[in-house]
Amino acid sequence: MALCPVCKVELEEKKARGVSTVRETTHYFDSKTCKKKFDEQPEKFMKDDGKGSMKTIE
């Protein structure tokens, strides 16, 4: 299971409507709209973990 970083909906990876990878982390989206919002401003939905990786803000 994955969590859409935009709308926080839980979904199965194989049913995702979109996928993006940022700093070697794969994100799954429940809609094309969420993917578009994320791709335009990924930093709005993520934070630096202090180890060079970005984590989804929950």
Summarize pLDDT for 5-52 with one digit per residue, the tens. Answer: 999 999 999 999 999 998 888 999 999 999 999 999 998 988 777 776
Cα 51 to Cα 35: distance, rounded to the nearest angstrom: 25
- What range defines the domain where residue 7 resides? 2-56
Q: How many domains does the chain fold into? A: 1
Residue pair 38/29 in contact (Cβ under 8 Å)? The answer is yes
How buried is 24 (Cβ within 10 angstroms: 0-12 exposed, 13-18 middle, 19+ buried)? exposed
- Residue 53's pLDDT is what? 63
